[in-house]
A = this chain, B = another copy of it.
Amino acid sequence: MSKRIIAVLPGDGIGEEVTAEAVRVIEKLNAATDAGFECVHVPVGGTAYDLHGTPLPEDTLSTARDANAILLGAVGGPKWESAPRELRPERALLGLRSELSLFSNLRPAILYPELADASTLKPEVVSGLDIMIVRELTGGIYFGGPRGIETVDGQRRGFNTMEYTESEIKRIAHSAFRAAMQRDKRLCSVDKANVLEVSELWREVVTKISSEYPQVELSHMYVDNACMQLVRAPKQFDVILTTNMFGDILSDAASMLTGSIGMLPSASLNADGKGMYEPVHGSAPDIAGQGIANPLATILSVAMMLRYTFTENAMADKIEAAVQRVLANGLRTADLAREGETPVTTSEMGQAVLDEL
């Protein structure tokens, strides 16, 4: 079997702590099977900026490029907020997505039955929630041009361009329809076609692609209504397909609905199955270094990696089952613990998953 290289980019804040537990899971898989994963650690984000003066050093980018998959912790923190715009930790994320053509961002929003009461929504509204958001990740207003701040007639004007080509829309639509085929076969495409021409093209192309997936039921929704429906009746959704900007907003709302944002993994894939995997949560500088962060989102990101990049579905199933057993056994990190419950540490939670594997 050819080498299976995983670039590990712990990043900032709790990134270090949570990726450490995920790497322990990978090592256990190596020990138990002939999986042969090799982890290569490189710095990214503020940590890389402190070491090398840039959040995405050339060596980090080339390691990520040569790897089969990337495991990312989290980037950012107040320490780097006053760094020049192009050197802020988030730019590393945007750079990796763009340089590696990771155009397909999969963000599941799942309510774990064991954590049902953590949601701010009423139980009947969210119980059993299981949505997959497919967000376009390398186009749209994030990367469109022209962009900038210019001075016209003595007055400044800021501008950005939201743009999509037919081929960009096609490839993300295919990702979403394929995701829907693996699930409940319902796809809701979210746009703002009543106002934006770019959305008009989006809607037309998505509709055209749908003829290749006759089993999938396609619907369209305006982004304002979609955000409203996520609050009103989120279980109506199966797969949501949307643009970079709208997906940024909707996926954050959707993950918060579940009340278990510390539990949610994500995948960002290119056309060849290469992917970057990361927890949905951020670097949480307020609790960094205390050993109390929840490592489960990162461990579940490894499961997504096994599924999408390495097609090791059995291994992925095993990890997910182990996580569910650990929750069922009542283990809770601080973010999940209710009043009166004693939380476990990051490494105790990691160890518990290892023991269940």
In the complex, chain B residues whose CB is within 8 Å of the CB of A271: none
Interface code A54-93, partner B: CB below 8 Å = 1, 0 otherwise? 0000000000000000000000000000000100101000
Query: Is A50 an interface residue, CB under 8 A from the partner?
Result: no
In the complex, chain B residues whose CB is within 8 Å of the CB of A167: 155
Q: Quick one: which of B147, B159, B256 contacts A228, CB cutoff 8 A? A: B256
In the complex, chain B residues whose CB is within 8 Å of the CB of A141: 162, 195-196
Query: Is A197 an interface residue, CB under 8 A from the partner?
Result: yes
In the assembly, what is the distance between CA of A142 and CA of B201, in Å? 16
Q: How far is the CB of A161 from chain B (nearest CB, A)?
A: 6
- Among residues 133 to 152 in chain A, which have CB atoms less than 8 Å away from a CB atom of chain B? 141-142, 144, 147-149, 152
Q: How far is the CB of A10 from chain B (nearest CB, A)?
A: 21
In the complex, chain B residues whose CB is within 8 Å of the CB of A147: 196-197
In the assembly, what is the distance between CA of A156 and CA of B230, in Å? 32
Q: Quick one: which of B158, B165, B194 contacts A156, CB cutoff 8 A? A: B165
In the assembly, what is the distance between CA of A156 and CA of B159, in Å? 22
Query: Is A224 an interface residue, CB under 8 A from the partner?
Result: yes
In the complex, chain B residues whose CB is within 8 Å of the CB of A192: 245, 248
Q: Quick one: which of B88, B164, B250 contacts A158, CB cutoff 8 A? A: B164
- Among residues 182 to 206 in chain A, which have CB atoms less than 8 Å away from a CB atom of chain B? 192, 194-202
30 A-B pairs with CB atoms under 8 Å apart are: A120-B231, A120-B232, A121-B231, A141-B162, A141-B196, A144-B159, A147-B197, A149-B200, A152-B165, A155-B166, A155-B167, A156-B166, A157-B201, A158-B163, A158-B197, A158-B200, A158-B202, A159-B161, A159-B197, A159-B198, A160-B163, A161-B161, A161-B162, A224-B251, A227-B249, A227-B250, A227-B252, A231-B257, A249-B249, A253-B253
- Give 15 A-B pairs besides A120-B233, A223-B249, A231-B257 with Cβ atoms closer than 8 angstroms: A90-B194, A90-B195, A94-B195, A120-B231, A149-B198, A155-B166, A157-B165, A158-B199, A159-B161, A160-B161, A160-B198, A192-B245, A227-B253, A228-B255, A232-B256
